[in-house]
Amino acid sequence: MSKILKLFFLLLVINLFLPKSVLATESDSICAVYFTGLGCPHCAKTDPFILQQLFKEYPNLRIVKYEVYQERVNAALISEYNNVYHSGLGIPLIIFGKDNFLVGDGPILKNINQVLDQGSNPCPLIDGSAVNFEDLNPFTLPGRPKIWVKGVEQPSSEELPSSQTPKSELTLTKVLSLAAVDAVNPCALAVLTLMLMAIITANPQKRKNLLFAGLAFTLSVFVMYLFYGLVIIRFFQLIKLLTNIRLWLYKILGLIAMVLGILNIKDFFRYQPGSLGTEIPMVLRPKVKQIIAGLITPKGALGIGAFVTIFLLPCTIGPYIICGGILCPLSLIEALPWLLLYNLIFVLPMLVITLACYLGFTTVENVSGWKEKNIKYLHLMAGLIIFGLGIAMVLGWV
């Protein structure tokens, strides 16, 4: 009898003084639903803590993670959870049950250990019910969650290779399409030919000036538009912090693309110089010509190129804004290679025209004449590309 009492006393001591996480078994799992977003600065603080560090202290922890920035289908779920749990629309957000959730990096980092120390917890479902993790069928969960067990991410829904394309391929298609639209923009080509004509008129014997000024102008436009792109992406990242706006952002960008496409297609059938959203407004053209007329040196081309991009924005910013909205789920460092690719394609016609004129394959007058002769077709090609992309974005095809 004394041995039984000693064993009972020993078990009592173990239960009182050892952490619950040590005693937990597979049936004592702690389950929570975690909403986060790639590119969210607050989530960047909680992600490594929740998805890595906590598993070392609580090996029985199970996390159902929803990424809401890149996975658009997940973004709607945070609103549905809020309707049941009243957890709000902010992220990062971790839900353990009704009246038991933490939102924001500060409260999560400060208080989550206290919640976990309370012991086992069933998985809170979107309809307000709860189920033990051992009885959870991940394939019945809504959206595209990821299950984290012992610090390892596991897919929780079946892959559909027939209907899905890797994100990198989808992003590449969209970025290339938008960059191609911008590259054939008539007003960008018009500004370049005006600049080259000014150089040739000022120094007809110095062909090297044409080359160096053309390259300097192109470099200046490239750098300035790279800067604009980073600003646009950062702007969209700030908007994305408002999750309810984020739900509609992608479709709004698609609608903008469709409108820009229609405006360009309209210019094919009924062209008017200085059309809204597709060319430099007529009121700005005399000022642009006046600025370029004083351009006679490569150094001047570098400075004027940066300044002239302000006048180019009204007719080139549309596709760039859409591109910025697509890339905003990435961090600025991750988005930089995409912006470099976009702007390389954007200035490619400028490089080709500069080299062709310098090497004598054509003249600036011929380039300008070709642009004027085919301007309707340039608008049509740009319109069809961006309109098609807009439809695909609205319908969720890309």
Q: What is the pLDDT of residues 60-69, one digit of tens each?
A: 999 999 998 8
Give the burial class of 290: count Cβ atoms within 10 A of its Cβ; 0-12 exposed, 13-18 middle, 19 or more buried: exposed
Q: Which residue has the higher pLDDT, 85 or 151?
A: 85
Say yes or no to pLDDT of 157 above 80.
no
| Distance from C-alpha of 134 to C-alpha of 320, rounded to nearest angstrom | 48
Domain boundaries, the chain: 18-155, 167-395
Q: How do residues 295-316 score in pLDDT, each as one tens digit?
A: 556 777 777 777 777 777 766 7
Query: pTM for this structure?
Result: 0.57
Sign, Cα dihedral of 326, 329, 332, 338: negative
Most confident range, picked from 6-15, 118-127, 170-179, 245-254: 118-127
Average pLDDT along the chain: 78
Residue 42 · residue 104 · CB < 8 Å: yes
Q: What is the pLDDT of residue 21?
A: 40
Cβ-proximal residues to 207 (8 Å cutoff; 6+ apart), any chain: 358
- Mean pLDDT over 310-327 rounds to 79
- Model confidence at 50: pLDDT above 80: yes
**Is 344's pLDDT higher than 90?**
yes
Q: Which tens digits make up the pLDDT trace of 360-371?
A: 887 777 877 776
Of the candidates 235, 181, 233, which has an alpha carbon nearest to the alpha carbon of residue 389? 181
The structure tokens listed for 381 are 């090609």
Residue 11: left (phi > 0), alpha (psi -120 to 50), or beta?
Answer: alpha
Please tell me the CATH superfamily of domain 18-155, with its number. Glutaredoxin (3.40.30.10)
Q: Is the pLDDT of residue 18 over 50?
A: no
- pLDDT tops 60 at residue 323: yes
Q: How many residues does the structure list for the chain?
A: 398
